[in-house]
Chains A and B, each alone.
Chain A
Amino acid sequence: MRINRDVIVAIALLIICALFINASFRIKEATFGQMSSALWPRIILAPLTILSFVYLVRSLLQSEPVREKRGGLSGWIGYYKNPIVCFFLFFIFLITMPYFGMLIGGILFVFAMLTYLGGYRPRDIVVHGTIAVAAVGIMWSIFTFGLGVILPSGEIIPYL
């Protein structure tokens, strides 16, 4: 028996199940009706817990451990570097939304994404800046003026 990726995933699933089962006991009971609000989540959690346990046992009994093609955690992070950075940039975009708003924040986000993924040469930066301003500006205009959606504005430049 060896600890491999599947074992960790199965344990994580079991922890999630435990948390949800625990939370299901804190759901208020309705004073009317036949089916309690907690029943349906528990109906889901019961097979999910059993299957996660089967997954754990199967992963532990695997005769050949799954080979980490990408060389452990650092290899995994290296392999998924682009998506991880993109997720981080999107997170920053969302968290700074109250300050920058959708338009400015969007331009900065798209520019950062383009420059990270496409390269930092001066020519690239100019192209990426132009694309970011044009694409976000057009989309913002369509939604604001065309569809009448009031997109979030920021503290830096109100109304934008």
Chain B
Amino acid sequence: MIIENIINASVELFTISTVILMAVGVVAGLIAGAIPGFTFAMAVVLVLPFTFSMTPVAGLATMMGVYVGGLSGGLMSGILTGIPGTPSSVATTFDGFPMARNGQPGLALGLGVWSSFFGGILSAIVLVLVAPQIALIGLEFQPWDFFSLVIFALTVTASLAADNLLKGLISGLLGLLVATIGTDVIFGLPRLNFGSEALVQGFQFLPVLIGLFAFSQLLNDVRDPEMARSKISDGDAQSIKIEHRKAAIAVLKSWVNLLRSTIIGIFVGILPAAGSSISNILAYDQAKKSSKTPEKFGTGFSDGIIAPESANNATAGGTLITMMALGIPGDIVTAIMLGALLIHDVVPSPSFIADQPVIAYSIFISFFVATFMMLGLQSITLKGFVRITRLKMYILASIILFYTAVGVFALNNIEFDMWTLFLFGVFGFVLKALGFPIVPVILGVVLGSIAEKNLSQAFAITTDLAPFITRPWSLFFLTLGAVSIFFPAYQKSRGKEKWTLAFIPVFVMALSPSVFMMDGVIRPYVVAPFLLVLGGFMLWRRISGGWVLDQDDTGALVDAPDPSQLDE
């Protein structure tokens, strides 16, 4: 069955035009990812209108190319200029830039490229193996479970706003509210349109997303008149040659670090809303903590490049697992992909892989192929990157701003969509200026209709609210949601206040009742008792240790910026 699906998907995917489109996508992603202030998510957003006229397979393969390319592109500017091209490459600059300054820019780039490659390939393997299994679990889900999953996705996104949990939650709710404007998804009745005929159809998801994300970001990029008029970067990398052989050997020698970082990347990716901007910093932090020579980190140490770069590419596989298996986007890019699938009348859900095997497997294969393409095309785009960075930001921003209008119009051929773009561009810009995170708004808009449909289905079955806590998966996600709300307080107080010592043990134990209620043998009779015993053991160790705070355990990551500030 799997072989048959792979063959069928390959037939669709490996046409000359699709392969060329993928290659163009990878190059575009590499260059977009390399330009500071121009994240790869924006590149995926901007590519979307072009994919509208393509087949679903060709369109998604192109977007996958941009995604994989963009994840790796950030390392170029991070290593050569010290300014990360995307938030996914922040930690890469900690050692990449010093290594380049120490006279080894070719090796630094090579380490980044090969780590990205191995991280991507390993995560693609996990994606192929795990996504169908998670989709099987997803088939156990009933409307209550999906609704609770959406609640968890929103709370975890809001909690990533760290100090601004309140603003994060408000942002998520605003996103949900925006999704209710127009027509009721269940009965088709107009609602909350304030008498406007134009609003009866509601706001189309993609113009909202492009407005909130790309439009407002572009105007942020030109806010400072001096910065707007200066070249994007003064880096000169034309004479640099990537040292592929030496770098590949170094990466393989550091296989433990590579594997650990890849696992971190995949795990972070699977979590709804947590993206590569977080995984690269977490992986760097863990690599430093596990290293025999932590003092070398920050001085141009190879492990400091391998960890973040393998983790950020691995995150892509993780986010795709969540999207393809459960129909829940893991980050902005997968939210856009979800939008792209909906344009082609494909609705991701637990039965997506079984119902649409050609599209699902073409996503798997294109992720693999794009990773190989990224490896080959990095050297070529290095020259392109240098040329692009000679442009001034205001020129790029002005042209792209116009392009967003054309692209948004092309999606549905409706002029109102350009007004939607404008309105949400202003809305996104104002929210950002007031310190509200944008990602929860976007996920709120995407997840709003999913939540409402499932709630309606749940009420159609019974008006009793008890299933939200008596159904195992629903309780599981609500528990995770509750924990994610308290997580920012835990992170802030970790190592400073004694209650934090009980947080993780209690969290682990709190999961066991829901797991105990699940079907089968392993989960209720092995996993649930294990979680209970593990939590109890952790608690006992802390009590027997005198309930004393570990002075080193401050919870602070390496000298890294607050991940919540990195709006991907």
Contacts and interface: CB of A to CB of B under 8 A. Distances in A.
Interface of A: 5, 9, 13, 20, 23-24, 27-28, 30, 32-35, 37-38, 40-41, 43-45, 47-48, 51-52, 54-55, 58, 79-83, 86-87, 90-91, 93-94, 97, 102, 106, 109-110, 113-114, 117-119, 131, 135-136, 139-140, 143, 147-152
Contacts of B180: 40-41, 44
Given A114-B395, A152-B415, A135 B402 contact: yes
Contact of A114 (B219, B394, B434): B394
Interface string B362-397: 000000000000000000000000000000101101
B415 A97 contact: yes
A9 B434 contact: yes
Contacts of B392: 118
B429 A83 contact: yes
Contacts of B399: 110, 131, 135
Given A30-B189, A117-B225, A117-B394, A140 B406 contact: yes
A86 B406 contact: no
A149 B413 contact: yes
B189 A93 contact: no
Given A82-B219, A91-B422, A152-B409, A37 B53 contact: no
Interface in B105-126: none
Contacts of A79: 223
A29 to B, nearest CB: 8
B50 to A, nearest CB: 7
Interface stretch (B167-175, B239-247, B309-317, B553-561): B167-175
A24 B189 CA distance: 12
A92 to B, nearest CB: 11
B459 to A, nearest CB: 4
B460 A33 contact: yes
Q: Is the interface of A mostly helix, strand, loop or mixed?
A: helix
Contacts of B219: 82-83, 86-87
Contacts of A94: 405, 418-419, 422
**Which of B176, B419, B455: most chain A Cβ within 10 A?**
B176
Candidate in A5, A13, A30, A37 with the most chain B CB atoms within 10 angstroms = A37
A33 B419 contact: no
Contact of A117 (B191, B222, B406): B222
A106 B406 CA distance: 9
B463 interface: yes
Contacts of A114: 394-395, 398
B466 interface: no
Nearest to B187: A30
